[in-house]
Chains A and B, each alone.
Chain A
């Protein structure tokens, strides 16, 4: 009994930390409608900066109470200033961009901060000092409990209270709430919105920085803090309801306690549990526990343009290049062949996601789930049933398609950010299963020795196999887009009202499209597994989903050829950058930012525009 009580207290302490980060995220979203992927990076920077201030320079010399707490506060303020600076330089330009572009831009910031942190602080973990006045433990019900944790438990409600006062008792807060409801009205009343938005980013970033800085006495500061916290913070914000502070607090408590007790009750599925709770909440309450349905989309939103074929010249050039490549393949070395086979896989992976995002108008932040499902299906068939590669490649699309049917049934009911988050949650569930079900999947060690059949074992043969299957897949997807199914998919995206009024069952169309896309992602995943000879949980992980998203968005969502160009550009860029510099994340991030800011229609869109201008 006592142990349970202490466990509950530990849950409250982590809930507080989670709330600090999630509150910033939700405040920023509420006002600017931007889902800030880089929020975890700000948290990490808060921790690193606090470490620097506390252990180096004048504050460290001062030492004692002010040395520590001064450092923590200074770190939070610095991160806040950085958030404001980011808002002024980058985010301000993309307020009117589609949601996924905003995610992309903030993800670019994640990459940049990763490398900057590596440059500034190195790869070693950093350990901070204990907090003055809060060292040691107190005795609670006969068990020792760290004082610092007790302090953290209090921080959450105090911050919630202060934020409440700010939002309800100050002019600034009232303006913020007004801007949350109706941006245009507020600016029509003569309020300088820009200042308001910058201030909100300062506030949100400072909260993230504070959250990070307060971790200093608890855990080591590492370069992995950003991704670990951002996923949890997303979960909290989505469960609570985007933009709702009390919701975020409630959800943080829920998740904190879930972690604390999940470890005791279901140690094997703690990771799955969090995302399962999120999925259940979103299915029962699509806008989170305390969230309101989003208002009508801003009036500036235009109807998507007609999908247009690439200019004729460019199309011929592409086909010519493809033919030349197939002919030249026998004269290429092993390394280029491996690379080209990977490209083929990525093209199919991106094209499958494009079906959902482009014609379907749905957002998926967890497409890797189906890529991984195909890979694991092929790998498990080979490992446990000794099924040959051919069988694996044949069954993988069906396995992934079934997973798509299952997950899609939940996901396609939602739209926008909520749909993106639910797909993310399901992908994380799939990842957790692969990671924790060690007997079957090999856990973190993955499945090894997943090699192709003898005839396809050579690099050249495997390249041709990949090119053929991926070509077939892309072709089938393109046919679907131009077939009645594709028309129906676009119909429900363009006008749900009209689609319903002419007898189109939007749910069924979206659901089937989701599963169809998942099947092709599964084929890509199975090919990838045989190409690498192994399957790892990373195949299902967030970075892989983001890869697919980046490829589609780089290429341009509203062009049929976009995903192909995007896959080549993205995979090529990553590969080249990784070869020439250690700092490839930094460069990739900068390139993505440049693309989002200057080519919002993607590469294919930009090319088509360029072609039209010349024509």
Chain B
């Protein structure tokens, strides 16, 4: 038999057993029955929403956007708000409906399987929410999320964006090691009572439709990793305006916007993270920026993976429907052996990619950004405690700086390097695996459908246009491969260098 120390030693050999056993580890820790029950309900709800809202309007909306570039899909936003989707995954103590993030990824897959743009329109709101979460400023979270909840109650949708990308910096914004080499220009200058922001952001999904914008800016753009800060800017604020809606190939119902800041004043109240707030925490300024970026992308990339699975599944479903109903060379296409195997390949792409985002969600729930809500006792408290009865007390607690400090200690200081890497690695793996699958299946669907595949009214060509964006945003798939290499492979070998200039 092996001793404890021998077991430990063997299990930490590459590949570290903890890196490859997330599902088993989470099974032992998660409130599985409750999670399953909730996820089943959420998936059923997503399917009902697809049937009643998404499917009847997806093609029409895509066509309308091609005809009328500046059109904004407010009716859809209103519908999603009515159905409660903008508070569904906001914790109950912030006024939301408090569903688990596992159910969100399944939900995204469902909607994305029918329309990636509409799924993005809902999902990107949670990208904005994620940008709020990852700074762990509980007071700001409480204020903004409560406004989202009020917006739901009063039929005035309140959406949030995450504004990171700049004209000169795409990939550079998404990796701390590249940040200091990038051309970043969004500057925050300290003034009485807050900051003034100057600069612009591009490709911001949902920009024109959102109320609050999480803007990443830099007190010194020459030293971005040490001076990065996050602040909230509200639509309509002085000095803030929208530029053009980008002219995209696909995902048309979800506008990508340019945000322009000219001496835009942000009061201290809406600075959710800066060096001053983070002082006293271990790791230094650069370390905190790295940790926050890492936690953010570890979670957000799982969402993009779920989009990818949705795209792969949508393409598979369109191809299957075509094969079942179309006669080719004297018999139904579904009865040609080669077509059966293409469909099997497509099914495999969907199923295997889904496993990757579930594995990623598991590790995130055990030891990533999402862990506070997956702890069994906390899960049940967050799910069933009557927060609304005790709103004044809860609010006072959430607005206390001590609460923010505790969360930051827990989330930003007590996370080990191994845990950070595991989360980042699985986020990256799921992202590029699933989005590559989305693109692969889109290609296969169009090949199988021939002439019908290239027609807008047969739905498959839209998936092809929509899916391509998934390989680009939230870090190109090349960057995500680097992230996986660094997280799972490179970290075991001291001689490894990444992002080193080679010529």
A, B: real partners: no
